[in-house]
Amino acid sequence: TLRLLDDDARLFAAANVVASIVAGLGAAFLGAAISQAIWS
């Protein structure tokens, strides 16, 4: 992300941040759903 900002690719840098947040939240919800399915 910092390298993209250095290269003035702000759109790609913002997309990278958004994609990272979405992927992290998705992984957290998926992990919670799987653990709930296993232990319920």
| 34 vs 1, higher pLDDT | 34
DSSP class of residue 40 equals -
Q: How far apart are CA 2 and CA 20, in angstroms?
A: 14
pLDDT of 23 reads 99
Give the pair of three-digit tokens for residue 32. 């919670």
Cβ–Cβ under 8 Å, residues 16 and 4: yes
Q: How far apart are CA 21 and CA 2, in angstroms?
A: 16
pLDDT of 15 reads 97
Amino acid symbol at 18: V
pLDDT of 1 reads 83
| 1 vs 19, higher pLDDT | 19
pLDDT digits (tens, 9 = 90+) for 2-39: 898 888 899 999 999 999 999 999 999 999 999 999 99
Give the pair of three-digit tokens for residue 21. 């947040």
Terminal alpha carbon distance of the chain: 40
pLDDT of 11 reads 94
